[in-house]
Amino acid sequence: MENNKCQCPDWLDDIWAKSPVQPNISGETLFSHTFEVLKRLAELKKLRPNLAETIGFPKLWNCLFWACMIHDFGKAALGFQQMLRQGGKTWGHRHEVLSLAFVDWLDGLSEEEKYWIAAAVAYHHKEGADLSDLTLVIDGSEDDPVTKMITQLKEVTLQKLWRWLAEYSNCWINELGFTSCRIDHIKFIQFDNESFSSKAYKTIRYYLNKLTVWQETGNNISEFRLSSILLRGHVISSDHVASAHVEIPPSPVQNPEKLINHWNKSIDSLYPHQKESVKTKGSAVLIAPTGSGKTEAAILWACSQTEQGKAMPRLIYCLPYQASMNAMYERLTADSFPGAVGLEHSRSILVQYRRYLEEKLDNKVAAKLAKWEKTLARLYCYPVRVLSPYQILKATYRLKGYETLLTDCFNAAFILDEIHAYAPRRLAQIFATVKYLRETYHAKFFVMSATLPGIVIEKLEQILGNYRLIKATDEVFEKFRRHRLFIRPGDLTAEDILGEIELEARSGKKVLICCNTIKRTQQVYQQLKDKLGQQVPIMLLHGRFNNRDRTIKERDIIVAAGGSESSEQSLVIVATQVVEVSLNIDLDVLYSDPAPLEALVQRFGRINRRRIYEWAPVYVFTQPCDGAVYEQSIVEQALIILQDINGQFIDEKQITTYLDNIYQDKIAENWNQNYLNAFTEFNDVCISNLKAFAADKFLEDEFYKAFDSIEVLPMSLKDEYIRFINKNDPLSANELFVSLGWKQFDKLAKKRRVIFGAKGQPNLVNLSYDSEYGLE
């Protein structure tokens, strides 16, 4: 295309879409913004070239193209243009509603296509219910908001819009590569201002009223629901990414052989389960020992999901804990997909901010870059995403913008890591979502763990359909036989046990102590600190540190215990279960509270990971077994099963058998009942009601109650918080917050330990906090 077809012509540059980013310059023209939106749409089409045929909606791209073409025409209204130039007071009308007046300019399209286009235009900002009040005014009086909007479209403006469509739109179809996907070239008749003015009101009212009935009828058909979700998802994504002035990059997921070479490995050097993962098309489940390359197997599987001649899929890596997400983000960025990985969790902006600060960047520069990272992640620009499954559940709870999230899941490759960490009710919601995405959005899943009981495998068979079960070979399991188990009566906090730990540490060992509660970690840490003094480094890690301290602690632990080379320096780490997954660390001996077998196996996996020793001891104590964190019956049964191999090597290939012996009879009955109840309820409330244009505030509130935590500011950090706020450094201020579960917060409130902040101010907790111990 000639440049004059890409650049805004002089006669159209007075119609803006965006305000100026700084004084004394022009705003972004409507022409330029629209072209950028269509470019983003074209990039999305390249990601999903066969989408329209796959979902049975051959005219999808045609409707999307023309909807994006006219979606902001209503911004040409005089009042909207004045608002962009003058700032301050808002226009007071919905520009997307006024844009409906131009649907009938798209002559030659079918009535059904115009419904789809009208829906995309009318709802590209607001939900269907948000515009329902406009359908109540039917008299066309001067007070009618639709009448008021139409009068602000001047004839000279309409002539420019008409000329733009007639001279540019069909050229853009060719230039942007839409010729292969059935975009209709439209012949525009001569513009008639009088005809437009007389028809505009009826056109807007027609679509506002008809769309409601059209949706209610269509939502009874599953294909309609899917198509309408994808319609809105593509429009919103194209619009928002264009507004951010970034591109939607192709996936960096590459040919498996190239990635293996990038890792300085060869196909022959891979474990058999890794080779099988490379060969697997479609969903799979992998069971292999900790440290045997499950992550590499999963990434190679994702690289193998691309069909010949088709676009690479999105790669979405799901993990249960923020610590594991942060570690996986660093790993994928460094080893496999530099510059292409996004991190998404409630504190991800603070993690990025701290990372930039550690690179010695100025606070303001670090804050700007961290905010930009968050923006790119929020827009789903990153082709590789590291997140928790709860981020995906936002779509099923219909949080605002859920259609874009679901759209990004289409044909995606999901890796579900460490699913042992989820209780049956949570697992049921995750699995129900997996089933929905697989059946409806053609997503593929790679589920992996060192510990999968048959009760979970049965559920995977139900949700994954036709999948491949991949197990490490007996030889690999034998190679990773590296732990000797010792069941110890009593409590690891006993004085004689702490004395034993002291001797281990002083002898040069790296010792990991896993406690089930934060209070116990703080107690053990203090007692060992008193014994060891400054002679042996000792670190404390749990979930009640603020982001600044926790990020520093995680990095210090990885440096001290995660190196590829053996170190003779002694070390003691006292931690809760946050240490269990994806912190790539290697220690010499474990002392652990009793826990479910799945959790214990993960704790074992932090010991002798590189197999420096023939075997390393892992000590599991029988107390406390009071059900404070885990279901007591499961912990007790795990201890009974493990007692049979007390003093022996742990044969990891027998873990599944051990788990099956635990999950039987009453335990299995309770587990299945909890899972089934949650699966049915979630499917009835969320999955079966998924439809477009219908974000639900009630479900959003339920989501945050169920999954979100509340950020609180310890009283002792109040002065530091105020200093950061006064220095206009809000991210440093936000790093001081500690996350609490809602139940914990309510308990503190009842004990009068909470000082509720006014609007925009933090909630204070009257509990001691310091960087060494965390929150009391």
The Cα-based distances of 240 to 230, 387, 593, 732 in angstroms read: 15, 21, 49, 28
pLDDT band at 2 (very low <50, low <70, confident <90, very high): very low
CATH topology of domain 256-476: Rossmann fold (3.40.50)
Calculate the dihedral angle through the C-alpha atoms of 48, 167, 159, 14, rounding to the nearest 10 degrees: 70
Distance (Å, rounded) from C-alpha 175 to C-alpha 47? Answer: 18
The pairing of beta strand 774-775 with beta strand 769-770: antiparallel
Per-residue confidence (pLDDT) for residue 447, from 0 to 100:
97
Tokens of 46: 């390249």
Distance (Å, rounded) from C-alpha 47 to C-alpha 42? Answer: 9
Distance (Å, rounded) from C-alpha 117 to C-alpha 100? Answer: 9
Per-residue confidence (pLDDT) for residue 139, from 0 to 100:
59
Per-residue confidence (pLDDT) for residue 1, from 0 to 100:
41
> Residue 322 carries which side chain, given as an amino acid letter?
Q
Tokens of 216: 């209610």
Lowest mean pLDDT among 489-498, 525-534, 620-629, 632-641: 620-629
Report pLDDT digits (tens) over 643-692. Answer: 999 999 999 899 999 999 999 999 999 999 999 999 999 999 999 999 99
Give the residue-averaged pLDDT of 629-638: 93
For domain 3-243, the CATH architecture is Orthogonal Bundle (1.10)
Contact call for residues 256 and 270 (beta carbons, < 8 A): no
Give the residue-averaged pLDDT of 382-404: 96
Tokens of 427: 């697992």
Instruction: Kindly list the strands in the beta sheet with 284-287, ordered across the sheet, starting from the edge strand earlier in the chain.
Output: 341-344, 384-387, 315-318, 413-417, 444-449, 284-287, 468-471
What are the domain boundaries of the chain? 3-243, 256-476, 482-650, 709-775
Distance (Å, rounded) from C-alpha 603 to C-alpha 589? Answer: 10
Would the CATH topology of 256-476 be identical to that of 482-650?
yes
Report pLDDT digits (tens) over 526-550. Answer: 999 999 998 999 999 999 999 999 9
Per-residue confidence (pLDDT) for residue 625, from 0 to 100:
84
3-state class percentages of the chain: helix first, strand second, coil last, to nearest 5: 55, 10, 35
The Cα-based distances of 595 to 122, 572, 728 in angstroms read: 54, 20, 45
Report pLDDT digits (tens) over 100-158. Answer: 999 999 988 999 999 999 999 999 999 888 876 666 555 556 678 888 899 999 999 99
Instruction: Kindly list the strands in the beta sheet with 710-714, ordered across the sheet, starting from the edge strand earlier in the chain.
Output: 738-740, 710-714, 763-765, 754-755
- CA 289 from chain center: how many Å? 27
For domain 482-650, the CATH architecture is 3-Layer(aba) Sandwich (3.40)
Report pLDDT digits (tens) over 554-569. Answer: 889 988 887 555 456 8
Report pLDDT digits (tens) over 163-181. Answer: 999 999 989 999 998 988 8
- Residue in the structure block whose two tokens are 């104590």: 621
Could you say which DSSP state residue 649 is in?
A: B
Structural element, H or E, at residue 447: strand 444-449
Q: What pTM did the predictor assign?
A: 0.93
- Residue in the structure block whose two tokens are 């159209």: 12
Per-residue confidence (pLDDT) for residue 138, from 0 to 100:
54
Lowest mean pLDDT among 308-312, 648-652, 707-711: 308-312
